[in-house]
Structure 1
Amino acid sequence: MTEAQGGLPGLENARVMVVDDNRVNRHLLLALLERGGVHHVAMAEDGIDALSRMNSFRPDLILLDLMMPNLDGFEMCKRLRADPVWKDLPVLVQSSLNRAEDRAKAFAAGATDYVTKPINAVELLARVRIHLQNRALVHDLRLFHERTESELALARKMQERLMPTPERLAEVEAALGLAIHAHFAPSSELGGDFWDLRRDGRGRLVVYLVDFSGHGVGAALNTFRLHAICQQMDFSDFDPATFLATVNKRLYALLPNGQFATMLAGVFDLETNRFVYASAGSTKPMVWAPGDAAPVLGESAGLPLGLLASADYEARELPLPPGGRLFFYSDAAIEIPVGDDVLDEGGLAELVTQRMAEPDAAVFLDGVLRALYATGPIDDDLTALVLTRKA
């Protein structure tokens, strides 16, 4: 039957259960539904009969009479809504009760819609059509949501694989005496932060931390772009300023207008007890040695990546003697609301100062993170690294 002939478009697979103790009414509704294009119809004599058949028939809509023996429509509706499986199932009540209090009682029990007897065929089919189409839309939306969640979870795992594995960190610690503890938490399913490490041609450890503008899918795609660029770079004799300038030039050609990234890139020169680094608008690295009263904050001046193809960067250095520590972080750590202001780097330095004497780097990092999350809401991706040079 076509829509012009009165059929319900796209609803030929819909399943409707008619619940009515009157046999004549059941068959009249059956004929009406079939004329409207609904061909999968089950009939139940009362609420008990209907509930016993729910799992086997799995209706998309119930046409429910209220006044029935054994278990009436009010009680059946309550029991139906008590089951999470059927809490969203449309229930269209058709009853000769037409007082306002009866309608209110039916809706309180969980009815979706209400039509009074004698049934108007055109009205009933119109309401059946609306509720079945809504049911189909909700079903499609739920499937889309589940598929999206699954795809985002897969993308999240792919993004996490951009970060160094625990095995790589253990190798670095064993080879160079540099222990690294890290935290990465995107603000949504996907984030715009990532970090990585490499060994240059002289065996020195190179570390870089990236923070893209925004977060979510768009920012995550940019992390994959930049990660691919970094993997293609020459690390034979690493110079952080040259590295940032080259990365910026390549990234500039790929990023849409208005998108950019901050980046800190540096190399550990253990022979001279220095960390040599360059900044593309990153946060200020913090460093301290055993016995220091407070961390020393490095410089962060430098144009973010992706804004100007010809940008130049400056190499800087911080002391890192045996037993010293470096702390890197994305800007989410310093943009936490505190009253009418934000935490800023000075506030973060105070949190670090309170815990920097902690000998266990994992405990130190956990303490700083707990303090950050207790300070206020963090609505951006948060990455934090603590690097400890063994004494």
Structure 2
Amino acid sequence: MNNLPEVPGLEAARVLVVDDNRVNRHLLQALLERGGVTRIEMAEDGNDALARLDTFRPDLILLDLMMPNLDGFEMCRRLRAIPAWKDLPVLVQSSLNRAEDRAKAFAAGATDYVTKPINAVELLARVRIHLQNRALLHDLQRFRERTESELSLARKMQERLMPSPERLAEVEAAAAVDIAAHFAPSSELGGDFWDLRHDDAEPDQGQGQGRIMLYMVDFSGHGVGAALNTFRLHAICQQMDMSGLTPAEFLSTVNRRLCALLPNGQFATMLAGVVEPAENRFVYASAGSTRPMVWAPGDAEPRLGDSAGLPLGLLAAAEYEERSLPLPPGGRLFLYSDGAIEIPVGDDVLDEPGLAALVAERIDETDGRRFLDGLLERLRAVGPIDDDLTALLLTRKG
């Protein structure tokens, strides 16, 4: 007994010994103490053991099977029915050595099984393994909780990149528009975001004041890396005076600055545009974005714009073409990230014409929020959405 191996770093571990035989309990206690485990409590049957769980909070149970009142099999079953203890290691030590007895113990929830008479070296080796695994599991759980907390904070920060409800309400009131938006990353963090600005320097003859400048971004990849890039690009855009630039000039400037920051192989698609009420149009430039859609009251289907253009971050000298789509009073503008068109459909994907067909199904829905919610429900019925999904519907009040 004097040569028993120490159980390193486990002095703080709690072991509950459950055996109806007093001599066996004290022999196991002495064995554990000589192995380095000192926080030990003893119970004389299954009921006694279950009653001690919440006060002693063991890290491992040494359990005999044949006991009066509540035997080890039933105690194990009841233990596993308690969510807080479903992963607690239970090391059975029993004189029952038939294969069916072992199978019954494992079916009841035992973690490991040793037979009496106890081999001290073997028992301590198994105790060490299970306690170390228990400690590792706790460390992993704490790491997961910390990571989830940090990711939750990062997601809230990312959501703040987009216009708040209060800011949207201000723009809607000032520019005579309704705006409905949706943002859902495919994981905890995503590579999409959008923003807008209202320029009230150009009144619009009673149909709302000034232009609305907006952009939508979709970075390659998902998760933390893509999210970090959204913060990079958001900082660039916030430092710029978009009102003094055309959409094409804005994209060119953003691209040059982003090329200096992005690691090789990373890029973003982006659409930047201006709603011009006085001209009844939407003027935009695209860096490989999805195709914008517009429609007017009475239209049976949306009109798809062109979106050709080199993605941001690939070539600093890239130039972008300016295009326009009609947007009269009562007209609608629909922007979306590629999560809406890369939904699997058989051996292919939904694509933009497919999305336009789904939009046409709901084209008479006048409430913007209901339109988006219904479209998203329809998209989920088509197939799984595996990418970040951002969508924006702007309606000019007629």
Quick one: which amino acid aligns to residue 74 of structure 1? F
2:297 & 2:80 partners in 1: Cα distance? 63
What does residue 59 of structure 2 align with? 60
2:240 to 230, 233, 236: 233
1:386 & 1:380 partners in 2: Cα distance? 19
What does residue 31 of structure 1 align with? 30
SS of structure 2 residue aligned to 1:271: helix
What does residue 133 of structure 2 align with? 134
What does residue 301 of structure 1 align with? 308
Could you report, residue by residue, the CA deviation over 1:159-209 in whole angstroms, capped at 9, with x for unpaired residues? Answer: 111110111111111111121100111111111100000134734211000
Greater CA drift, 285-294 or 124-133: 285-294
Could you report, residue by residue, the CA deviation over 1:313-341 in whole angstroms, capped at 9, with x for unpaired residues? Answer: 11111111111000000011111111111
Give runs of aligned pairs for residues 177-192 of structure 1, distance below 5 A: 177-192=176-191
What does residue 382 of structure 1 align with? 389
Give runs of aligned pairs for residues 1-391 of structure 1, distance below 5 A: 6-200=5-199, 202=201, 203-391=210-398
SS of structure 1 residue aligned to 2:242: coil
TM-score w.r.t. the length of structure 2 is 0.95
SS of structure 2 residue aligned to 1:158: helix
Alignment check: 8 A CA contact 2:171 2:198 kept? no
1:90 & 1:17 partners in 2: Cα distance? 11
The Cα of 1:310 is off from its aligned counterpart by 0.9
SS of structure 2 residue aligned to 1:163: coil
Quick one: which amino acid aligns to residue 102 of structure 2? R
Alignment check: 8 A CA contact 1:201 1:235 kept? no
Alignment check: 8 A CA contact 1:46 1:68 kept? yes
1:282 & 1:23 partners in 2: Cα distance? 76
Quick one: which amino acid aligns to residue 332 of structure 1? G
Q: Structure 1 residues 236, 207: CA separation in 2 closer, same or farther (over 3 Å shift)? A: closer
Alignment check: 8 A CA contact 2:4 2:120 kept? no
What does residue 205 of structure 2 align with? none
2:78 & 2:369 partners in 1: Cα distance? 52
Quick one: which amino acid aligns to residue 363 of structure 1? R
2:67 & 2:364 partners in 1: Cα distance? 76
1:153 & 1:221 partners in 2: Cα distance? 14
Alignment check: 8 A CA contact 2:5 2:121 kept? no
2:156 & 2:83 partners in 1: Cα distance? 31
- The number of residue pairs the alignment matches comes to 388
Alignment check: 8 A CA contact 2:281 2:324 kept? yes
1:74 & 1:377 partners in 2: Cα distance? 44
SS of structure 2 residue aligned to 1:8: coil
Alignment check: 8 A CA contact 2:290 2:307 kept? yes
1:192 & 1:318 partners in 2: Cα distance? 27
Could you report, residue by residue, the CA deviation over 1:116-140 in whole angstroms, capped at 9, with x for unpaired residues? Answer: 1111010000000000001111111
- The RMSD of aligned alpha carbons is 1.2
Give identity over the alignment, percent: 80
Could you report, residue by residue, the CA deviation over 1:60-117 in whole angstroms, capped at 9, with x for unpaired residues? Answer: 0000111111211111111111111111100000011111111111111111100011
Quick one: which amino acid aligns to residue 103 of structure 2? A
Q: Which runs of 4+ in 1 moved over 6 A?
A: none
